Every structure is written in C-alpha cells, then in structure tokens.
Amino acid sequence: MIPLEKVKDIVDRHNTLEKELSSTNIDPKLFAKKSKEYASLGEIISIAKDYLNFDNEKKDLEQILSDKNNEREIIDLAEKDLKEIKFKKNHYEEKLKIYLLPKDL
C-alpha cells in the first residue's frame, strides 16, 4: 500500500506548479524546468486523485450495501461498483509505485 501522504504530495505539487506557471511573476529560467515537471505530473495526476478518492467511494458503496431498505437492483449495482473500484485501486497503486520509483537509477 502506498502512503496517502505521498499521493497527496503529488497532487499538492501539481497544484502548486499550476499556480506558479499561470503566474506572471515566474522566472523565465525556471519556466521550462517547471513546465517539464508539470507535464510529468500530468501523466499521473488523475490516477493520484482517483486513488485518494477511493476510501470515500468505498464508504459510500458500503453504506448502500448495509442499508436494508435499498432495492436489490441498487445493491447489485453497488456490489459491482465496489468490485470495480477495488480492482482500479490495485491498478492505480501499481502505476503510482512505478511513478514513485527513484528516477536516478
């Protein structure tokens, strides 16, 4: 399991770079470097955000499953969605692990 703090750092860094690049006060010498880093983060940012949202989605679906007043169709859909997001979480985790590997090898 990947520490959520590391994933949050990726999202925070992406947001910081986005603000810096949209600012008119950025040093032209740093612009290219920051643009490259921003593009690099752009490849993984949606996965990082989805990974962070997993727990909330899981809780919502489990709440649907535990509510006995829901119709069978709703429960079936929630079970299907829960299986799907668990699969996606594993897939996202693998992608994030690769991204977080040291680049200086």
- Does the structure show a pLDDT above 70 at 105? no
pTM (predicted TM-score): 0.79
- Distance between CA atoms of 19 and 33, rounded to whole angstroms? 15
- Distance between CA atoms of 71 and 75, rounded to whole angstroms? 6
Q: What is the model's pLDDT at position 104?
A: 61
pLDDT per residue over 35-61, tens digit each? 999 999 988 999 999 999 999 999 999
pLDDT per residue over 77-102, tens digit each? 999 999 999 999 999 999 999 988 88
Q: What is the model's pLDDT at position 25?
A: 84
